[in-house]
Amino acid sequence: MPQYAILLYMPTPDEPSDMPPAELEAHLRYDERVKELGGKTGPAIALAPSSTATTIRGDAVTDGPFLEAKEVLGGAFVLEARDLDHAIRIARECPSTWRGSVEIRPLIGIQE
């Protein structure tokens, strides 16, 4: 099956403690929902707050994100789905869509 990166964007501030308990619980159950919908999740990562980032642009190295944003990348996971339409159907149910957004990108060059 094709693989997609599911990028999870959260409103700032992006501290994990800012997530309502019901949303956190929904994220923990989401893997089971993906299976019910016929998909499969792969590796997942959660990112530390963007305030911990170091940005490099050209020769400049700065603390924190390079620019202000309304949403920040909070994590990502790999999704196996039949096609893009299937990936969209699965991603629409991701709890990250409650307060933020989800970006879907096809992965290329993936080897198992």
Which range marks the domain in which residue 55 is found? Answer: 3-106
- Cα angle for residues 28, 33, 35 (degrees, 5° grid): 115
Phi, psi of 91 (to 5 degrees): -65, -30
**Residue 93 maps to which CATH number?**
3.30.70.1060
Find the helix or strand (DSSP H, E) in which 32 lies. helix 21-36
12 located within any domain: yes
Percent of the chain with pLDDT over 90: 39
33 located within any domain: yes
pLDDT computed for residue 68 by the predictor:
64
112 located within any domain: no
Compute the mean pLDDT over every residue in the chain, rounded to the nearest whole number.
85
Higher pLDDT, 19 or 68: 19
- How much is the pTM? 0.80
110 — pLDDT class (breaks 50, 70, 90): low
pLDDT computed for residue 77 by the predictor:
93
pLDDT computed for residue 56 by the predictor:
81
- Count of the separate structural domains present in the chain: 1
111 located within any domain: no
Phi, psi of 15 (to 5 degrees): -75, 135
18 located within any domain: yes
13 located within any domain: yes
Higher pLDDT, 68 or 73: 73
- Strands 40-46, 71-80: pairing kind: antiparallel
95 located within any domain: yes
